[in-house]
A and B are shown apart, each in its own frame.
Chain A
Amino acid sequence: MNEIDFLNWVRGPGFQIAVIIFVAGIIIRLVEILMLGRKPNLAEAKGSAMRSGLRTIFSRSIPEKSTFKRSTFVIVTGFIFHIGLLITIFFFTPHILLFKDVSGLSWPALPTPIVDAVTVVTIIALFLVLAHRMSNTVLRFLTNYEDILVWLVTILPLITGYFAFHRVGATAPTLLALHILSVELLLVLFPFTKLMHAFTIVLARWYNGAISGYRGVQS
């Protein structure tokens, strides 16, 4: 297999396989969760579960003051790399073309140099996250193989993407193919790892907000 073969494969069948696993995995997992169901709450409500649930989906993104003070590093780096991922994934022209090809939807891109800079910042943030994870006693205690694996498959597309854009280290088709392959790896592992939080976070926050809100507390 030559490099263009490789590129054509990751753009073609490889991507297709990854998307199938990703989509099927996510849907099965969400259905699996929802079908377990919940018993209705028989206690008399003090507040609106619905309103509070909806609010928490958004409000949990903003840490409350004392929490921020206690977990500053995790929160700041977490914010940086999440926003960085958002920008690099969704606001880079070639990526938007991909989304347009799949969904028909398109939106304005950010100037390429900005995305480029954000990529560097995101990579740095992710390395800091790892360093912190390895050095902080609590996080080291919590960390398992999955955490490292997820970190790796998250940073790989950024690094390969950076190299592919700057065209250093290998020939351009190989770089691009490696970048796409790393994304496929991410897609394939997504439904079976904690990466799922990107979707289940809506459920989790909703439930938390609803449980609390029903009792009249905005969580």
Chain B
Amino acid sequence: MTDIPEGKDETLGDVLRQRGISRRSFLKFCATTASMMALPPSMIPTIAHALERAKKPSVIWLSFQECTGCTESLTRAHSVTIENLIFDSISLDYHHTLQAASGHAAEEARMAAMEENYGKYLLVVDGSIPLGNPGYSTIAGISNYDMLMETAKGAAAIISVGTCAAYGGIPHAKPNPTGAVSVGEIIKDKPIINVPGCPPIPVVITGVLTHFLTFGTIPELDHIGRPKVFYGQSIHDRCYRRTFYDKGQFAETFDDEGARKGWCLYKLGCKGPTTYNACATTKWNNGTSFPIESGHPCLGCSEPEFWDGGGFYKALSMPTEDISKTVIYTAAGAVAAGVAIGAIQKGRKNSAVASHSKTTIDDLEK
């Protein structure tokens, strides 16, 4: 992120060459990207061609109610990769965590970038927007809402990075004291790409950028705005512990025999079955592993409301409320109600018996 090259007319190809990236490793990157995005190999030259000639796009990054985890995730690559370089090569005109400027100077930079690239810049947002009281989160005295509205106006597209920006995330969790909402709930007239995750996987972010740079369009999205290439399959469907699930072999605790044998973590609350994300395939920390591989159940962080699923260690089939109490109270109430109703009905029967008039043989015909 340091040392942003001069001159906004440079192409990505120029930048890469300046950085000493060989043509070979560049093509290799293009091949990997193609396969990651499920494109046929015939598309590799197209990607390479497009990327080489892509103009450095202007990017404005807004951070609202967030924890900076997403930025951390993104900048915490262990080695210099082409993904990083691609990321480096964008013209990050505004990112208040990363930029050197602050206060009014920073805001001026934002205004300038907006003006210069009106209608063309990419807007990246992390964090949710508080609608309860704008005072909950402001930057340079501007409420998150106002800043988003203002900045979104000239954006070509918006990328909501992280579950907070995509779906409200943790700030949105019950009881949602700030009235936090996602970007998509406010902005309705711009293409929005949701890249959820708490945090999202770094390559997913660069993948989306690559796609945008290559095709100038946004990738195909699923029904909740996520790029299908990365969020098309559930953790459960790609989980290497799946065979254990299918056979019904489960770890009961974190340190039992089953846990040591690497059995399925369903009983420990794994949300893999209802979570769509790329963790099980791309993994984390440069492909080292992902949570389930480390023995921890999936939290479902790339799904909306993942915080309100009744607890991370509660199995998916368990109710989220305290049903035993419900049953006890209901039963007690119902016995009382039943006795009352029963008494009324018994009374009805008794009065029928009381009003019985004896039937004799003279009463058998009408």
A23's partner among B167, B266, B303, B330 (CB-CB below 8 A) is B330
* Interface stretch of the complex, out of A42-50, A77-85, A97-105, A130-138: A97-105
Cβ-defined contact, A4 with B341, below 8 A? no
B297 to chain A, nearest CB (A): 13
B224 x A2 contact (CB < 8 A): yes
- Surface stretch bound by A, among B79-87, B153-161, B311-319: B311-319
Q: Which residues of chain B come closer than 8 Å to A16, judged between CB atoms?
A: 319, 321, 323, 326
| A200 contacts chain B at the CB level, 8 A cutoff | no
The residue from B236, B246, B343 contacting A35, defined by CB atoms under 8 A apart: B343
Looking at the assembled complex, report how far the CB atom of A58 sits from the nearest CB atom of chain B, in whole angstroms.
26
Is B310 located at the chain interface by the 8 A CB criterion?
A: yes
Query: A24-B333, A113-B247, A167-B237 are known contacts. Are A97 and B317 too (CB-CB below 8 A)?
Result: yes
Q: Does chain A have a CB within 8 A of B45?
A: no
- Decide yes or no whether B98 CB sits under 8 A from chain A: no
Complex Cα distance A11/B304, Å? Answer: 15
Shortest distance from the beta carbon of A217 to any chain B beta carbon, whole Å: 29
Q: Complex Cα distance A103/B326, Å?
A: 11
Residues of B near A173 (CB, < 8 A) are: 274, 303
Size of the B side of the interface (Cβ < 8 Å), in residues, is 50
Chain B residue with Cβ nearest A12: B320
The listed residue (A11, A15, A29, A172) touching B273 by CB distance below 8 A is A172
DSSP majority for the A interface? helix
A93 within 8 A of B: yes
Is B346 part of the contact surface with A, judged by Cβ < 8 Å? yes
CA distance A112 to B242 in the complex (A): 12
Q: Tell me whether B29 is interfacial, beta carbon within 8 Å.
A: no
Judging by beta carbons under 8 Å apart, are B341 and A28 in contact? yes
B194 to chain A: closest CB distance in Å? 11
Q: Give the CA-CA distance A104 to B305 in the complex, in Å.
A: 27
Is B139's CB within 8 Å of the partner chain A? no
Cβ of A169 within 8 Å of any chain B Cβ, yes or no, is no
Provide the bound-state CA to CA distance between A5 and B167, in Å.
11
Residue of A nearest to B338 (CB): A31
Residues A1-22 near B (CB distance < 8 A): 2-5, 7-8, 11-13, 15-16, 19-20
Question: B253 → chain A, closest Cβ, in Å?
Answer: 13
Q: Is the CB of A28 within 8 A of B321?
A: no
- Nearest-neighbour CB distance to chain B for A59, whole angstroms, equals 30
B305 and A19: CB pair below 8 A?
no
From known contacts A4-B304, A23-B330, infer whether A35 and B267 are also in contact, taking CB-CB under 8 Å. no
**Is B342 close to A, CB under 8 A?**
yes
A 67-114 contacts with B by CB, 8 A: 93-95, 97-98, 101-104, 109-113
Residues of A within 8 A of B273 (CB): 167, 172, 176
Complex CA–CA separation, A104 to B323 (angstroms): 11
B321 and A2 within 8 A (CB): no
Closest to A101 in B: B318
Residue of A7, A13, A37 with most partner-chain B CB within 10 A: A7
In the complex the two chains form, is A111's CB within 8 Å of B247's CB?
A: yes
Q: Are B318 and A32 in contact (CB under 8 A)?
A: no
Name the B residues within 8 Å of A195 (CB-CB). Answer: none
Contact of A112 among B246, B339, B346 (CB under 8 A): B246
| Residues in chain B within 8 A of chain A (CB atoms) | 167, 223-224, 234, 236-237, 245-248, 250, 266-267, 273-274, 276, 300, 303-306, 308-310, 314-321, 323-324, 326-327, 330-331, 333-335, 337-339, 341-343, 345-346, 349
Q: Top 4 closest A-B pairs, CB basis?
A: A31-B338, A35-B342, A94-B317, A27-B334
Q: Which residues of A contact B (CB under 8 A)?
A: 2-5, 7-8, 11-13, 15-16, 19-20, 23-32, 34-37, 93-95, 97-98, 101-104, 109-113, 167, 171-173, 176
Contact sample, A vs B, 28 pairs, CB 8 Å cutoff: A2-B224, A3-B304, A4-B304, A4-B305, A4-B309, A8-B308, A8-B310, A12-B319, A20-B330, A23-B330, A23-B331, A27-B334, A28-B341, A31-B335, A32-B345, A35-B339, A35-B342, A35-B343, A93-B250, A94-B266, A97-B317, A101-B314, A102-B324, A102-B327, A110-B248, A167-B236, A172-B276, A176-B316
